[in-house]
Chain A
Amino acid sequence: MNEHDELSRALHAMVDDQPVGAAPLADLVRRGRAAGRTRAVGRSAIAIGAVAVVGAGTAIGMSGHDDGGTARHRAVGASPRPSGTAGTTHGSAPATVPVRLVDAVTKTAGTSFQMESYADWSQRKSGADCSGGWDPKRKVGWMSVPGGAEPTVEIFGNDIYERAPVGGAGSRDWQKYDPKDYTKDGSQPPPRDSFYCGGEDTATMSGILADMRKEGPVRLLGRKTRDGKKFDVYSVTSTKPVIGDGSYDTTQAWVNVQTGYVEQLWSWEAPKGATAIPSVTLYSHFGEPVRLHRPPVN
């Protein structure tokens, strides 16, 4: 028996008798569809509710409890009737972004806020897929995940604390990580300047803007009123289909006219003329303190 055979036999002995169970097919398809839709905010970005923002060269995960963590968004009203129109954004000219949108993104990224994201807006009554808060000045934030009455990640500057959620396989004790630890086992380093929320990749405010720019020229759709608030709605639809079925990415940033903050991000993926259920991220509580206490670490 040669070395290949011996090694092969040993490797098979290590794992072949492990039960593998059934593939979670329904969940994979559901997540796959959501991932397809949410690719709008950048070819590789966002997914199941990414969100934004700023951090000091480290990640910013977040989790669900803080002193003000009970705050919830007011529900947004009707959907903006997304459809997969290509708009008028064809051609190879450099994509443009309206200055006022750039200003709004900059302002939002520099301010503390809370957020909630919904991978499937039609299912919003079942709750957000992710919520969190972030204070870019103090570099403090939290993130909670589905069903997570408990936080899973808190960030204090360069210190990252994690705790497995209820029912999870991991320890319920808080663990503190150094960002450098993330690279030791091949894991992806914490996304820089990002507020990661379970997405396929990450999306920062600036990242979202960059991704919108990549899709094509961003244009001001106009002013809309929702829940008594006026918004300037900026939109971009990809200049070409992003997947084989002819679906175009569309992303919209809703800027509150009164405050100047980006309060809503909508994205969907659909063929021309078709409708799609969007993924939505909502921002709120701008400028309010994010109160967290460093968790005890055993």
Chain B
Amino acid sequence: MSEDSERAGDADYAAFVERCWGPQLRVATLLVGDRYRAEELLQDSLVKLYPRWRRVSRGGNPDAYLRRMLVNGRISRWRRRRREQLVAEPPDRPGPSTPEQHDELHRALLALPRRQRAVVVLRHYADLSERDVAAALGCSVGTVKSQNSRALEKLRAQLATPNHEGANT
């Protein structure tokens, strides 16, 4: 690869990262439950995307590709610990003030099986179509519908139960 070509690819990649960082970090936060792990997952996904960038961007929908990486990404505790050390500016407080620890919806969301949680996040937060959710999860639209239905049922039940135990995740 020539230097010019590499620079152009890097510029495209950089533009994509800057554009997607905020929205995808929020999606990842909902998927994994907290901001730090979300950032870990997103960073790892973007790192993996880099060497594939030319192919993926040629495919025309890097957002969908990244979304799929996030949904299917697995967080290694080893890496998570490692990255904690690599944070350029370590937080001096527990993190952004979020409803993470106390919000009932948050706990109910975390109590969902991982796949159902992904359906809820992609369908109701990212506002994807059932078809796009299916593409991200690598399943059928019918599966998305059934998973969504079950997830909503569980959320309703969880949120209707006062003082329910938080999810231990």
On A, residues with C-beta under 8 Å from B are 3-4, 7-8, 10-12, 14-16, 18-20, 22-25, 27-29, 31-33, 35-36, 39, 59, 61, 130, 143, 145-148, 152-153, 162, 164-170, 177, 182, 184-188, 190, 196-198, 200, 243-247, 271
B150 within 8 A of A: no
A164 CA / B87 CA spacing, docked (Å): 12
Q: Which residues of B from 125 to 169 have beta carbons under 8 Å from A?
A: 125, 127, 152, 155, 168-169
A-B contact pairs, 17 of them (CB 8 A): A3-B152, A4-B123, A11-B121, A12-B125, A15-B26, A15-B30, A15-B125, A18-B29, A29-B50, A31-B47, A39-B51, A152-B85, A165-B84, A167-B85, A169-B90, A200-B48, A244-B58
Task: Verify A35–B82 contact, CB threshold 8 A.
Answer: no
Say yes or no: is B60 at the interface (Cβ < 8 Å to chain A).
no
Contact between chains at B21 and A23 (CB < 8 Å)? yes
Tell me which residues across on chain A come within 8 A of B33, comparing CB atoms: 185
Q: Which residues of A contact B35 (CB under 8 A)?
A: 18
- When the two chains form their complex, are residues B105 and A14 in contact, meaning their CB atoms are under 8 A apart? yes
Contact A27 B77 (CB under 8 A): no
The answer to whether A196 touches B26, judged by C-beta atoms less than 8 angstroms apart, is no
Q: Is the CB of A7 within 8 A of B120?
A: yes
Given contacts A7-B155, A170-B81, A188-B75, contact A28 B36 (CB under 8 A): no
CB-based contact B105/A243 at 8 Å: no
User: Which residues of B sit under 8 angstroms from A22, Cβ to Cβ?
Assistant: 18, 21
Smallest CB–CB gap between A65 and chain B, Å?
15
Could you say which residues of chain B place their CB within 8 Å of the CB of A162?
77, 81
Contact between chains at A168 and B98 (CB < 8 Å):
no
Residue of B nearest to A147 (CB): B85
Contact between B43 and A28 (Cβ–Cβ < 8 Å)?
Answer: yes
A231 to chain B, nearest CB (A): 29
Q: Is the interface of B mostly helix, strand, loop or mixed?
A: helix
| Total number of residue pairs linking A and B with CB closer than 8 Å | 171
Chain A residue nearest to B21 (CB atoms) is A23
Q: Which residues of A contact B10 (CB under 8 A)?
A: 29
- Chain B residues closer than 8 Å to A130, beta-carbon distance: 82
Q: How far is the CA of A12 from the CA of B26 in the complex (A)?
A: 9
Check B76–A4 contact: CB distance below 8 A.
Answer: no
Are A145 and B81 neighbours in the complex by a CB distance under 8 Å?
yes
Report, nearest first, the 8 A-B pairs whose CB atoms are least far apart.
A32-B50, A36-B51, A168-B84, A188-B74, A23-B21, A245-B1, A165-B85, A11-B125
CB distance from B24 to the nearest CB of A (A): 9
Are B77 and A35 in contact, CB atoms less than 8 angstroms apart?
Answer: no
Interface size of B by CB at 8 A reads: 66
The residue in B54, B124, B155 that gathers the most chain A C-beta atoms within 10 A of its C-beta is B124
Complex-state Cα separation, A32 to B47, whole angstroms: 4
A11 near B124 (CB under 8 angstroms)?
Answer: yes
User: Which residues on B sit within 8 Å (CB–CB) of A20?
Assistant: 21-22, 25-26
A186-B75 contact given A32-B46, A168-B81, CB 8 Å threshold? yes
- A256 and B164 CA atoms in complex are apart in Å by 61
Chain A residues positioned under 8 Å from B76 (CB to CB): 187-188, 196
Contacts A8-B127, A29-B14 given; does A166 touch B85 at CB 8 Å: yes
Residues of chain A contacted by B95 (CB below 8 angstroms) = 169
Q: Does B63 touch A at the CB level, under 8 Å?
A: no
Query: How far does the alpha carbon of A170 sit from the alpha carbon of B25 in the complex, in Å?
Result: 20
Known contacts A147-B85, A184-B169, A169 near B98 by CB under 8 Å: no
CA distance A138 to B35 in the complex (A): 37
| B100 CB → nearest A CB, Å | 8
A18 touches B26 (CB 8 A): yes
- Contact check, B17 vs A169: say whether CB atoms are below 8 A apart: no
Which of A29, A168, A177, A184 is B85 in contact with, Cβ under 8 Å? A168
Nearest to A18 among chain B residues (CB) is: B96
The distance from the CB of A191 to the nearest CB of chain B, in whole angstroms, is 8
Report the separation of the CA atoms of residues A106 and B93 in the bound assembly, to the nearest whole angstrom.
Answer: 47
Choice from B13, B30, B79 contacting A29 with Cβ under 8 Å: B13
Per the 8 Å Cβ criterion, residues 29-49 of B in contact with A are: 29-30, 32-33, 35-36, 43-44, 46-49
Contact status B22-A25, CB under 8 Å: no
